[in-house]
Amino acid sequence: MQVLETFELELKNILKGLDCTYINEIGDFIFAPSKRLRPRLIFAACKALNKPIDTEQIKLAVAIELLHSATLAHDDVIDNSCMRRGKSSFFGELGSHGAVLIGDYILAIMLKILADIGSSDVTRLYSEYIMRVIQGEFSQMKNKNVVRTEEEYIKVCAQKTASLFELALSSVFCNEAEELRTELIAYAQNFGIAFQIKNDIADFEGDGADCKNGTYTLPSILKEKGFSNSEIKVQCEGRIAKYAETALGAIQNLKINKEHLIEYLGYLK
């Protein structure tokens, strides 16, 4: 069985039998079409380091995916977003009360997985990174309807988006040599920032929901500076390429099978 199939099966088994009024809706949301980027990053890094993908890595992959799902449920409340993954969001269907409760329930499932793993180091990492994500959300909330600088925008990207990619690798490799961990985290952070810029240019070219909600992302920051839409796309693509190159540079001197992590950078195209 392929590792991603094992991951999906583990996720289904964890959800199976849970006593929750909206468990079917939660399952539909979690198993909606998704790239599973954070679990895939764990598996790519394990392959790069010739690290066996055992039960613990699978559980950590499930935990990070559940954390990501919980943040999406809560983000939709914050952004008043009625659509998610091509259909009505929990906020759109149940309002803020129901969506917050579902996000909290998914977090509780994640906490149970961490308890089963039984590593205080991993639990501490989850706590630290979740606080970092929330701090990014606080910063974004504070700057609602304000055109930030590009530096401020990148800082929020690092906190809100890149943090979960960093956590994915930090939790799996927390007992490895410090140099290795540092470079892998740098790789994950730069990938995460590039990925957020990619999402923001897609939103800008689509319905522009971020700007309508008062969140000024890189494309809208560049728009305020007088760049045309075509120039904005070129500028954003240039930033994405820069962060992808920095991610690659972070692992360049590591004696690992880099092709797995190089291939992963393809998700930025």
Q: Any idea where the domains of the chain sit in the sequence?
A: 1-118, 119-269
pLDDT of residue 86: 80
Burial of 13 (0-12, 13-18, 19+ CB in 10 A): exposed
Counting as low any pLDDT under 50, the low residues of the chain are none
List pLDDT tens digits, range 37-73. Answer: 999 999 999 999 999 999 999 999 999 999 999 999 9
CATH number listed for the domain at residues 119-269: 1.10.600.10
User: For position 17, what pLDDT does the model report?
Assistant: 86
One-letter amino acid for residue 246 of the chain: T
CA distance 251 to 269: 20
Rg (CA), the chain: 18
Q: Which CATH code of 3.40.50.300, 1.10.600.10, 3.40.50.2300, 1.10.3720.10 fits the domain covering 1-118?
A: 1.10.600.10
Give the number of other Cβ atoms within 10 Å of residue 121's Cβ.
Answer: 10
Cα 256 to the center of its chain, rounded Å = 24
Tell me: the pLDDT tens digits for 202-225?
A: 999 998 889 888 999 999 999 999
Q: To 5 degrees, how large is the angle CA 192–CA 56–CA 249?
A: 30
Domains 1-118 and 119-269 share a fold: yes
Beta bridge partners of 87: 84
* pTM of the model as a whole: 0.96
Three-state DSSP state, 81:
coil
Task: Supply the pLDDT for residue 47.
Answer: 97
What is the chain's mean pLDDT, rounded?
96
Buried b (16+ CB within 10 A) or exposed e, 165-184: bbbbbbbbbeeeeeebbebb
The pLDDT assigned to 1 comes to: 63
